[in-house]
Each structure stands twice: as C-alpha cells, then as structure tokens.
Structure 1
C-alpha cells in the first residue's frame, strides 16, 4: 500500500522552494523550473560527466565521449531527489542526430525532467483529491501515474519543438528512467538501451534488457510507418541498416522509428510516443545501465554488465564502460567513424557489490 502523505509532503516542499512567488496563471512550470535550479545549486542535478548521490541509496555515475562525426550530440541528465522526493531519481540520455541534433538533444534534456515532474505532481494531487487521503495499492497507482505523465510530457515536448526550425531535419532519441522507491520505470523513444544487472538463483550476475531498440524494421514499427505512407528500406551501401523514408522524395532516411523532432518525416510514421516498462526492484537487482547506441553497436548486454561490475570504484564505472566501447569500435568497426558514446550507471544499493552478491547466493 502507498500512503499519499509522504508523497504529498515532497510536493509541499517543492512548492515552498518558490518562496510564495507562484502566479495564479502558473500551470506548474514555474515550480518545476525552480526545483531544477535548486537541484543544480545543491549539486543534485548532473549534466556533465561525474557522479551524484542523494538521501536515497542511489549512486549515479555518468561519462560521455564524442565520436568522429563532428560535435558530440549526446546529452544526458541525472536528477537525484527528483521533485524533492527523497526516494526518487530521474536519469536520461539523449542521442541527437542531423545537422542540429546537439541543439535538439539539449532542448529535450532541459524540457523532459521538468515537464514530467509537473505532470506527475498534477496527477498525484488529482489522485489524492479523488481518494480523500486513503491508502491504495501501489500496483494500481505508481506505474499508471508515470505512464500517463510520460505520454502527456512527450506530446508537450513534441509540440514545443515544432516552433524551432532546427528541429525540422534534426532530432533526438530519449531514454529516461525514474526510480521511485522500489519501482523502476523506463521510457524509451529511439534506439538507446537500458540494461539491468541482477543475480540469478546461483548468485551469478546476469543482464536483463529493459528496452527494445526501436528500429524501422521491427514488425510493429514497420507496419505503422507503411500505414502512414512511409517507406522502410535498406540501401546497398548500408546493408542491414533500415531507414524510414518519405513516400517519393529521395531525401534523408532515418535509422530509428521513434524520435523527437524530425518533422520532415513525422507525417510518415515517425512518432515520439514512448514505450514504457516497469520493474519492482529486489535485493538481487544491482544496477542499471542507460547508454546510447554507441555502446550497443559494439558491445553485448552481458559484456557491459561485466565491465561495470568488475570496476574497482563505482565512480569509475561509466568511464570504464565508455572507454571499453571506444576500444571495441577500433577493433570491430575499423574504417567506420566512431559514434558518440554516453552511459549512465545507476547503482541501487549503498553497500559494496561483492557483499551484496554474497548475500544473494
């Protein structure tokens, strides 16, 4: 059962941060923006390589390295104590593409956490009013609230991006995660990937893929694209790489089936609707990896989990994973320009991994 009192306390704290300056026309945007500024001030928000830990048992470490295609278009954010909630953290990686992809990724990174927060707070408050403060089952509450909040958030972001000309031929993926106590919610738009490291019945660390790489040739994605008059084709010079194309124009093709921006092809099957998954975290679950496709193009889920788990200091885990991917690019993709590579490693427990594994054996 979930008590609304503790959740509402966090919301009350968040409102107090604005020092009573709320306008009667504020829809929650001012509150969320104020919270983001406060988080940055208190070093609870991370947008460059490093680590952050808050009142919860979470530890998030981040590292990014630009590729050989120009400016690094990857962006990321970690927000510990998300929305003044001691048991919440928000993580996100955004992989831009196109000539102005870095700008689109940066804009979505700024919009996503605050928009999600205000939509979540709005729905929590509405649920509190509807239940008269009584307790309800978590399974009927938490994930459904996040799901509704994410759908509305992504719709709002897509509408806001449309006013920027640089979003017409450029866009970004968005892979985000929220941990709320024992619940993990992952929302995916594009082909970045989230992987969980957990222990099996024999005490061995194994990987569990939490998301699907949303490529145009996936049956459900391809069907939607073709119903919208888009084409899904693989060119001779890129065998096996399927892209979304406009019906007749031989313009740029897009190698993902969901993204923010890219309005030139939005009428032909490309969408920004997220695919959501959830998981109840147990003592067996050790950490999650969120990474752009620069990692997964050259590395398996198991390899990534092994690299992170074998890193001596947790604060070095994301850097070691990215550096390992760089080495893999040099050996496995010789001649191909290396992609931008970014990773977030979110550890769930505040005790050493070796001890946690020993307990689960």
Structure 2
C-alpha cells in the first residue's frame, strides 16, 4: 500500500530530551532532503508535578530561502529552558529574530546572555518578582549587545521572552515576534500575550514622528498602496526598519526606535490549552486563529512536536504561494493544563 505524503513526512520527526542549558544551534537537527528544509526540533516528555502547568513542549527553527536557495544562516535563535534553578514548575521560552548583516550574531548573543541570567531567577517567586526578573534579564541582554564588538548600526533583533512559574505566565516583547494562548470553551479562541511594535500602530508611529523619523513604504514619503511599512531616517544610506522597537539598530535610535520591552502577565486557567511563541516567519502569513486551529488538532493527540511541524508546514506553503521568498521560521508550542 502506498503511504500518504503525511505518513512519509512523519518518519523524519524525533523527540529529543531537553538539556536546559543546550544551545539551540547545536541541538538535534535533521535535514529533510526532499523538501530542502532544515528542522531543529526538541521537546520534553509529559510531566505531572505539583504546581507545574506545562505538560509538554517542543520547537522547530527553520532557515528560509530565496528562489529555492537556502539562506546561509538562520538568523532566528530559540531558547527553551526547563527546571529553572532545579524548580520543575519553572520554564523559560524565547524567540529572537535577527535582521541585518549581523542579525544572527545579535540574536544568538541575546539568547546566551539571558540563559546566563537563569540562576538569578527567584525559586519561590511572586508575580512581581517574575516581572522584575524578566525586565532585568532583558535590560542586561540589550546592554550586552550594545556594548559588544558586533556592529549594530543597521543590524538588530526582536525579542519575545516568556517565563512560566506554576500558573503564572509573564511575557516580555520587543519587536514583531508574537506570543498567543490557544483557549477552549465550547469553541476555540485565542488571547494575545505580547504587544507588537510595528509601524502600523498609532502610538508607535507618533513616537517615531516626534523624534524626527517617518513611516512609509519608501523613503521618499510617497503614498504607496503596496509594500511593507518601515521606519526611515533622513539618511538614504540607512535602510528602513520594519519594526518600531528592536535590540541593536543603533543608527535608528535617534528617530525613536527604542529597546524598551512591554510586559503582559497572565494566570493559567482551565480554558488555556496551549501557548504559541513564534517569529514573524509564522505571523506574517498565518493569522492567530489559523495558528490555533492548526495546533488544536495536535493538542488533542498530545503531540506538541507535530503541532510545531504543522505550523511550519502551513507557513512555508503560504510563503511559497506569495512568491519566491521564505522567511526564517521559528516556533515554540507549549501545552498547558491548569492545576485545581
């Protein structure tokens, strides 16, 4: 009997145990020659510990391509750490989407610097302690990047970081990566946990314009109907930036591009079924509701690693439909369960 296309693809998937301090760039990877993809996938097996609200998690990070030629580097970096300070109910997840010539170096440095701050995470934290820890970690990481030898003039990275401690979820975001929670109460729905920083958000645009920058599809301020809105300076040598906040991008700081994170807090409830944290390689082509519908199918099966693959496959197909460019794609899926 001839196997279906989906059955053939499943043989490439393996679930590897997490090393809490493992660098995602050296994680288990498998090259899928038929589809010319390079998946990096890890996960943790189901666990059931008092206070713990995470039952399973996994991630995939895939480098993009142009005209079917793979990019030299995947500029995304992914952070997945379990048992912070040996506490089985504490987790740290992060997606860092680099851009510019040195974007990969910046996203990697951010991930490593935040990892090195894990020992300072409080073991029995209150909500305010988690917020303070997350903000301090992000501030230290940003300062590390800006004082590093890396040329950050026109290179930078987004940051979307989530800490889970028991039922508490704290999300800090800079840029246009995104975190949402899939919820079920008779019907599937979602809640956005991160505040995006893009040039189509009025309060972000106001800050840019007050600082002397401007937002347009092209740097000549023409009113174009197509294309991506970007932040520009008056210097034609500086490329436009598709976000209003980032870590790095030193040449854009004087026009209101800041590295201040925004914090969103959430307490896990019975309706919360999973968390999706991803770079814009997902969100530029997949809506929040589409992502929830994809992951919900695998949530019923308890397969977080296949949920990641479902999202990556759907996003890749959408990118191919819209042209010859496929962005780097990184996604983390975390299955949740509320403790009564």
TM over 0.5: yes
Which residue is equivalent to 1:106? 108
- Residues 128-177 of structure 1 show CA distances to partners (whole Å, capped at 9, x for unaligned) of xxxxxxxxxxxxx7332233333333322222212323322211101111
Alpha-carbon distance in 1 for matches of 2:80, 2:330: 13
Q: Are residues 1:176 and 2:161 paired?
A: yes
Q: Distance in 1 between matches of 2:290 and 2:141?
A: 34
CA apart distance, 1:57 = 4.9
Counterpart of 1:309 in structure 2 is 296
Q: 2:268·2:338 contact (CA, 8 Å) conserved in 1?
A: no
- Between structure 1 and structure 2, the one with the greater Rg is 1
Richer in strand (by share): 2
SS in structure 2 of the partner of residue 255 of structure 1: coil
Is residue 248 of structure 2 the alignment partner of residue 256 of structure 1?
Answer: no
Cα distance between partner residues in 2 of 1:168 and 1:83: 36
Structure 2 unaligned segments of length 5 or more: list them.
1-16, 28-40
Q: Deviations over 1:175-197 (max 9, x none)?
A: 11111111111111110111111
Q: Distance in 2 between matches of 1:189 and 1:289?
A: 16
Cα distance in 1, alignment partners of residues 304 and 310 from structure 2? 10
Pick aligned residue for 1:324 from 302, 314, 332: 314
- Partner residue, 1:60: 57
Do residues 334 (structure 1) and 331 (structure 2) align?
no
How far 1:320 moved relative to its partner?
1.8
Q: Which residue of 1 aligns with 2:75?
A: 73
**Structure 1 residue 209 corresponds to structure 2 residue 223:** no
Alpha carbons of 1:42 and 1:319: their partners in 2 closer, same or farther (altered >3 Å)? Answer: closer
Residues 116, 167 of structure 1: alpha-carbon distance in 2 compared, 3 angstrom cutoff: farther
Alignment of 1:85-104 (within 5 A): 85-104=87-106
Aligned residue runs from structure 1 range 131-210, under 5 A: 142-162=126-146, 163-200=148-185, 203-210=186-193
Q: Output the CA distance in 1 between the equivalents of 2:226 and 2:188.
A: 35
Q: Is the 8 A contact 1:95 1:292 kept in 2?
A: yes
Check if 1:285 corresponds to 2:281.
no
Q: Retained in 1: the 8 A contact 2:304–2:334?
A: no
Q: Structure 1 residue 350: deviation in Å?
A: 9.8
Write out the 4+ residue segments of structure 1 that deviate beyond 3 Å after TM superposition: 53-57, 247-250
- 1:106: Cα distance to partner? 0.6
Match of 1:51 in 2: 43
Contact 1:60 1:345 in 2 (8 A): yes
Alignment partners' CA distance in 1, 2:130 and 2:338: 26
User: Under a length normalisation based on structure 2, what TM-score does the superposition of the two structures give?
Assistant: 0.78
Residue 117 of structure 2 corresponds to which residue in structure 1? 115
Check whether the contact 2:113–2:144 (CA below 8 A) recurs between aligned residues: no
User: Tell me, which stretches of 5 or more residues in structure 1 are unaligned?
Assistant: 1-40, 126-140, 352-361
Deviation at 1:232, TM superposition (A): 1.8
Write the distance in 2 (CA, Å) between the matches of 1:254 and 1:117. 34
Tell me the TM-score normalised to structure 1 length.
0.74
The 8 Å contact of residues 154 and 272 in structure 1, kept in 2 or not, is answered as: no
Higher helix share: 1
Contact 2:20–2:81 under 8 Å retained in 1:
yes
Contact 1:64 1:319 in 2 (8 A): no
